[in-house]
A and B are shown apart, each in its own frame.
Chain A
Amino acid sequence: MNNRSHFSLYRFSKSLSQIFVNVILLIISFLFLLPLVVVIAASLSDEKALAKNGYSLLPQGFSLSAYEYLLLDPDRLLRAYAVTIFVTVVGTLLGLLVMSMLAYALSRPEFKWRKPFSFILIFTMLFSAGLVPTYLVVTQVLHLKDNILALILPYLVVPWFVFILRSFFSSLPQEILDMARVDGASEWRIFFQIVLPLSTPVLATVGLFTILLYWNDWWLSLLYINDPNLFPLQYLLYAIMRNAEFLTSNASTGLLTSVELPTQTLRMAMVVVAMGPIAIVFLALQKYFIRGALIGSLKG
């Protein structure tokens, strides 16, 4: 009897805490989502109404003109999508491979160069030669100007991510690895057949971060790509936005009134267009960071 009442009390407090948790998260989600709703509403609004009344939760004077403008040149947009998708997929897969190999090596205590290499990585995070020297290396030493590799290679190793991976690998139970080694398995086999499968959450995490890194990048294309056929999505959108910003900051008055400036609604539409596919990817990868999916497999 004692046990039973203790148990039901426990269950009650559990559901109470569940309610508590859900309420807080609901409020937080609402606050976080508010701007998204406003952005979508603005992208569907009429420009004049928006300027007159400011932003709100509902579209004002419903209008698809911003999206029409974006789709005016569908070829360019589609090509940009293709470039971005290619770069992102290749970059992420390759990057994950390279980074996890590096991180694994760094996580093994018996690796002699562990400390120095870690230091090397950190050093690069802090010290950068800056724009001009890097540009010179990529274009003149590696001859990668207007080459799609220039969009992929620079981000293949992100020190921050490597350290996240390393930290995770370090926390894997050593016994499993030792047992495999005793059984005669090579380092590579251990890596591919034991370590990687055990690390799906962190691989999904770093994978997602890397996807985002490649997907959102416009900086590399600004530097190294002149051929419009190789422009990725974000660069196209960035270019449209930056045209307007530049014109706000320049000192020459009066000259530029003849140049057409993009509208507020257009900016909002661009956010939605750029975000769309990534949101889908995120939803797909989500199962790796949501409780309950993979705990079972870890035990095996």
Chain B
Amino acid sequence: MAFEKIKRIMAEQLGLSESDITMDTSFEELGVDSLDLFQIIIEIEEEFSVQIEDAESIKTVGEAVRFVEDRVEE
């Protein structure tokens, strides 16, 4: 499930516990800097074999999950 995998990637990258991450969690509120975001996006791209052109438009965990689920269905 995309949400579970993305949660795991973020928890690992940011040193958080997975319970802190919900679909509504925004990257901003987690205090993620641009380089953390690079690292998270790279992991997501590799995990799901997708390319995220417009990373700036993904502001919450839910948006990342939806992006991945749309692409993987295709």
Answer yes or no: do A and B interact.
Answer: no
Binding site for B on A (CB under 8 A): none
